[in-house]
Structure 1
Amino acid sequence: MEAAKRGKTSAKVGELFEDMPFTKKHLFVGFVLFVVSVIEAWEMMLIIFISSSIAADFQLTPLQEGSLIGSIYLGMIPGTYIWAIIADRIGRRKTLMFSLLIFSVVSLFTPFSTGFAMLYAIRFIAGLALGGVMVAGYPYFQEMLPVKQRGKGLVYLSAGWPLGTLLAVGVTALFMGGESNLGSWRTVIVLSSLVGLWALMLRKIPESPYWLASKGRHEEAKESIRYLSEGRIELDNQQQLWVEPIEKGNYFTVFTRKFLKFTSFQTIVNFAFAFGYWGLYSWIPTLLAQKGLSMSQSLAFLALSTLFQIPSYIVAAWLTSKYGRKKVMVSFVALAVISGLGFAYSTDMTQLYMFNFALAFFSLGAWGVWNTWFGEIYPTHARVAGYSFGAGAQRWANTLAPSIIGMVIGWGWAFNATVTFIQVFMVITFCIILFIPETEGRILE
Structure 2
Amino acid sequence: MSHSPTAVVDRPTEPSGKSKYWSMQVGEVFENFPLTREHLKSCLALFFVFAIEAWEMMIIVYTAPLISQDFQLDAVAQGNLIGAMFIGMLVGALGWGKISDRYGRKRAIAYSLLGYALFSLASAFAPNYPVFYVLRFLSGMTAVGMMIVTFAHFEELLPVRYRGPCTVYLASGWPIGMLLALGVSASLMPYGWRTVIALSSFGGLWAIVIALWVQESPYWLASVGRQEEARKVLAKLSRGAVQLPRECTLLVDQTHQGKHRELFSRDMRRVSYLQIAVNFTFSWGYWGLQTWLPTLLQQRGLSLPQSYSFIAWSAICMIPGYMVASYLTGRLGRKKVLIGFIAAAVVAGYGFANSQSMEMLYLSNFALAFFSLGAWGVWGTWVCELYPTSLRTLGYSWAALAQRIANVIAPTLIGMLVAYGSSFNMTTTIINMFMVATLFLVAFIPETEGKPLH
How far apart, CA to CA, are the structure 2 residues paired with 1:350 and 1:173?
A: 24
**Equivalent of 1:32, from 42, 45, 58?**
45
Whether 1:369 aligns to 2:373 is no
Counterpart residue type for residue 42 of structure 1: W
Whether 1:202 aligns to 2:210 is yes
The equivalent of 2:199 in structure 1 is 191
Whether 1:83 aligns to 2:96 is yes
**Equivalent of 1:270, from 261, 270, 279?**
279
Q: Please state how far the C-alpha of 1:291 moved relative to its aligned partner.
A: 2.4
Secondary structure of the structure 1 residue equivalent to 2:124: helix
Contact 2:256–2:262 (CA<8 Å) still a contact in 1? no
Contact 1:107–1:189 (CA<8 Å) still a contact in 2? yes
Larger deviation, residues 418-427 vs 309-318: 418-427
Counterpart residue type for residue 67 of structure 1: N
How far apart, CA to CA, are the structure 2 residues paired with 1:290 and 1:194?
A: 35
Distance 1:338 1:50, change over 3 A: same
Q: What is the CA RMSD across the aligned residues, in angstroms? A: 1.4
The equivalent of 1:333 in structure 2 is 342
How far apart, CA to CA, are the structure 2 residues paired with 1:420 and 1:171?
A: 31
The one-character-per-residue Cα deviations of 1:371-408 (angstroms, maximum 9, x if unpaired) are 00111010000000100101111111111111222223
Secondary structure of the structure 2 residue equivalent to 1:2: coil
**Equivalent of 1:41, from 50, 54, 57?**
54
Q: Please state how far the C-alpha of 1:286 moved relative to its aligned partner.
A: 2.6
Secondary structure of the structure 2 residue equivalent to 1:249: coil
The equivalent of 1:70 in structure 2 is 83
Counterpart residue type for residue 52 of structure 1: P
Secondary structure of the structure 2 residue equivalent to 1:326: helix
Distance 1:293 1:111, change over 3 A: closer
Return 5+ residue gaps in structure 2 as ranges: 13-21
Counterpart residue type for residue 21 of structure 1: P
* TM-score, with length taken from structure 1: 0.96
Secondary structure of the structure 2 residue equivalent to 1:412: coil
**Equivalent of 1:2, from 2, 6, 11?**
6
Contact 1:80–1:134 (CA<8 Å) still a contact in 2? no
Distance 1:97 1:62, change over 3 A: same
The equivalent of 1:157 in structure 2 is 170
The equivalent of 2:234 in structure 1 is 225
Distance 1:259 1:329, change over 3 A: same
Contact 1:274–1:394 (CA<8 Å) still a contact in 2? yes
Q: Please state how far the C-alpha of 1:195 moved relative to its aligned partner.
A: 1.8
Contact 1:6–1:235 (CA<8 Å) still a contact in 2? no
Contact 2:46–2:170 (CA<8 Å) still a contact in 1? yes
Whether 1:344 aligns to 2:348 is no
Q: Please state how far the C-alpha of 1:326 moved relative to its aligned partner.
A: 0.6
How far apart, CA to CA, are the structure 2 residues paired with 1:51 and 1:287?
A: 14
How far apart, CA to CA, are the structure 1 residues paired with 2:76 and 2:427?
A: 20
How far apart, CA to CA, are the structure 2 residues paired with 1:82 and 1:238?
A: 36
How far apart, CA to CA, are the structure 2 residues paired with 1:202 and 1:74?
A: 27
* TM-score, with length taken from structure 2: 0.94
How far apart, CA to CA, are the structure 1 residues paired with 2:445 and 2:81?
A: 36
Contact 2:67–2:193 (CA<8 Å) still a contact in 1? yes
The one-character-per-residue Cα deviations of 1:4-44 (angstroms, maximum 9, x if unpaired) are 33345111100100110100101011111011111111111
Secondary structure of the structure 1 residue equivalent to 2:243: strand
The equivalent of 2:18 in structure 1 is none
The equivalent of 1:216 in structure 2 is 225
Counterpart residue type for residue 180 of structure 2: L
Report how many aligned residue pairs link the two structures.
Answer: 440
Whether 1:392 aligns to 2:396 is no
User: Equivalences for 1:353-368 in 2 at 5 Å?
Assistant: 353-368=362-377
The equivalent of 1:148 in structure 2 is 161
Secondary structure of the structure 1 residue equivalent to 2:225: coil
Contact 1:25–1:227 (CA<8 Å) still a contact in 2? yes
Q: Please state how far the C-alpha of 1:135 moved relative to its aligned partner.
A: 0.6
Counterpart residue type for residue 121 of structure 1: V
Q: Please state how far the C-alpha of 1:423 moved relative to its aligned partner.
A: 1.2
Distance 1:60 1:422, change over 3 A: closer
Q: Please state how far the C-alpha of 1:321 moved relative to its aligned partner.
A: 0.8
The equivalent of 2:66 in structure 1 is 53
Counterpart residue type for residue 166 of structure 2: G
Q: Please state how far the C-alpha of 1:247 moved relative to its aligned partner.
A: 4.1
Whether 1:128 aligns to 2:141 is yes
**Equivalent of 2:424, from 408, 415, 421?**
415
Secondary structure of the structure 2 residue equivalent to 1:441: coil
Counterpart residue type for residue 105 of structure 1: L
Distance 1:186 1:293, change over 3 A: closer
How far apart, CA to CA, are the structure 2 residues paired with 1:190 and 1:297?
A: 25
Larger deviation, residues 425-434 vs 53-62: 53-62
Q: Please state how far the C-alpha of 1:271 moved relative to its aligned partner.
A: 0.5
Larger deviation, residues 109-118 vs 288-297: 288-297
How far apart, CA to CA, are the structure 2 residues paired with 1:83 and 1:4?
A: 33
Give the % identical residues: 47
How far apart, CA to CA, are the structure 2 residues paired with 1:284 and 1:441?
A: 38
